Amino acid sequence: MIGAFHQRFGPTPQPRVFRAPGRVNLIGEHTDYNLGFVLPVALDLATYIAAAPSPDGKLRIYSEDRQQLREFDASSLGAAEPTHEWTDYPVGVARELVRAGVPVAGANLLIRSTVPDGAGLSSSAALEVSSALALLAGREFDPLELAKLCQRAERNFVGMPCGIMDQYISVFGRAHSAVEIDCRNFGHRLVNLPGGITFIAVNTMVKHALSGSAYRDRVRECAAAVEGIATVFPDVRSLRDVSPEQFAGVASRLPEVVARRARHVVTEDARVNRFVEASTLGDVAGMGKLMLESHRSLQHDYEVSCAELDFLVDAALALDGVYGSRMTGGGFGGCTVTLLRSDAAASFRAGVARAYHQQYGVTPRIYSCEPSEGAGEVKKLETIPSLA
């Protein structure tokens, strides 16, 4: 990667390399922007940025993935406007840094990523967080503030009203652990996963055009649910504040669709907590059952699944060693995540690929979900993946 950087930007100076991981969310979907609970793990798949100062006051960003070089005046980043291109992610981060009082000087950035983009494994947050570290270039910044700043870039600049999960886990991920995040108070705890099991993500290889607009619709529907519920329980500020019992008492007062959306969120929050408990007790069957309940709730109540995701979940359940499976990420395509016995992983990969190919004529990409460390500077340069 250092070689690629020099080839593009010249022999000096030597760049530093920063890494931020993608993630797979084990359970707790569409709960983060409702200020509830999520349980992601940071992945070995990550976005790497090689960065060095540039004396001419330009911010140059090259994406190997897009094979595009874009150039901006560093001095005007505080007033940057979105262009609806991939550069909105790093430029949005730069603008937020300037607005937070952190000067951003000219720099050359080269981006390499192993996170598939648009697949629900959060390539966007991996790009935001790695960009933030590259632009900070080693300057201290509070990690939680960093995650929040990257979320603001996505919300305010990219225009996606996302919750905090993706940026948070990219910053706070930990090897060998899942991370339960409380999206209201921004605290987290590390969750041990039982031995002998593994999580595998399977990519439908589709992203339906609906995904962005439907996400915004769901955010609005949840706000409508809160408004309705608050007429009965005035203390309720978000769906996080609503217990399953309270919800049962008010559901019939909400419009039917709004009630189903809210039911998903309220029951999903409870499932995260039950999943953490099951994981701590080593109750793998219980974990699997909760994942499937989560999927059915996303499929029928929240309506963010799609035929390809439903197919992969059902195909997984028919295979040996599988405890549970669900869509992961925003939905309408992207990946499923499946919990299974480690020793069944090879036959699972073969079986699920065969079934999906038979149905759709497409070979799904499959990723093992080894919990990895959160973002930081890469000191061992030999760990950077070479270009695929």
Question: Catalytic residue positions?
Answer: 166
The two tokens of residue 155 are 């919300």
Residue of 196, 297, 222, 313 lying closest to 34 (CA atoms): 222
The 103-132 contact track toward Mg ion, x by CB under 5 A, reads -------------------x-x--------
Nearer to Mg ion, 212 or 321 (CB): 212
DSSP string, 173-235: --TTEEEEEETTTTEEEEEE--TTEEEEEEEEEEE-TTHHHHHHHHHHHHHHHHHHHHTTSTT
Nearer to ligand ADP, 118 or 376 (CB): 118
Residue 62 touches ligand ADP, criterion: CB under 6 A: no
Residue 69 touches ligand ADP, criterion: CB under 6 A: no
Q: How far is the CB of 52 from ligand ADP (least distance, A)?
A: 19
Residue 328 touches Mg ion, criterion: CB under 5 A: no
Residue 31 touches ligand ADP, criterion: CB under 6 A: no
Q: Nearest 10 degrees: CA dihedral of 135, 148, 263, 301?
A: -10
Beta bridge partners of 69: 62
Q: Is the dihedral of CA 117, 120, 123, 125 positive or negative?
A: positive
Residue 104, SS3 per DSSP = coil
Residue 66 touches ligand ADP, criterion: CB under 6 A: yes
Q: Cβ distance 69 to 86 under 8 Å?
A: no
Residue 265 touches ligand ADP, criterion: CB under 6 A: no
Q: Which does 119 bind (CB under 5 to 8 A by kind): Mg ion, ligand ADP, none?
A: ligand ADP
Stretch that binds ligand ADP, among 119-127, 187-195, 235-243, 256-264 (CB under 6 A): 119-127
DSSP state for residue 388 in the 8-state scheme:
-
Q: Which does 86 bind (CB under 5 to 8 A by kind): Mg ion, ligand ADP, none?
A: ligand ADP
In terms of residues, how long is the chain? 388
Stretch that binds ligand ADP, among 75-83, 101-109, 121-129, 366-374 (CB under 6 A): 121-129
Residue 163 touches ligand ADP, criterion: CB under 6 A: no
Place of tokens 């309720």: 236
Q: How far is the CB of 29 from ligand ADP (least distance, A)?
A: 13
- Which of 120, 324, 351, 364 touches ligand ADP (CB under 6 A)? 120
Q: How far is the CB of 253 from ligand ADP (least distance, A)?
A: 34
Q: Which does 50 bind (CB under 5 to 8 A by kind): ligand ADP, Mg ion, none?
A: none
Nearer to Mg ion, 106 or 212 (CB): 212
Percent of the chain that is helix, strand, coil (3-state, to 5): 45, 25, 30
Total of chain residues touching ligand ADP, rule CB under 6 A: 18
Residue 127 touches ligand ADP, criterion: CB under 6 A: yes
How far, CA to CA in Å, does 182 sit from each of 24, 40, 290? 17, 12, 19
Taking CB atoms, the residue at the shortest distance from Mg ion is: 124
Task: Give CA–CA dist 214/303, Å, rounded.
Answer: 9
Q: Cβ distance 385 to 64 under 8 Å?
A: no
Q: How far is the CB of 61 from ligand ADP (least distance, A)?
A: 9
The 75-114 contact track toward ligand ADP, x by CB under 6 A, reads -----------x--x---------------------x-x-
Q: Cβ distance 324 to 314 under 8 Å?
A: no
Q: How far is the CB of 349 from ligand ADP (least distance, A)?
A: 22
Give exposure, 245-281, as e/b (b: 16+ Cβ within 10 Å).
Answer: eebeebbeebeeebbbbbbbbbebbebbbbbbebbee
Residues in contact with 57: Cβ distance below 8 Å, sequence separation at least 6, in sequence order: 73, 74, 75, 105, 106
Q: How far is the CB of 124 from Mg ion (least distance, A)?
A: 3
Residue 119 touches ligand ADP, criterion: CB under 6 A: yes
Residue 96 exposed, middle or buried by CB count within 10 Å (0-12, 13-18, 19+): buried
Q: Which does 66 bind (CB under 5 to 8 A by kind): Mg ion, ligand ADP, none?
A: ligand ADP
Residues near Mg ion, by CB under 5 A: 122, 124
Binding site for ligand ADP (CB under 6 A): 47, 63, 65-66, 86, 89, 111, 113, 117-124, 127, 329
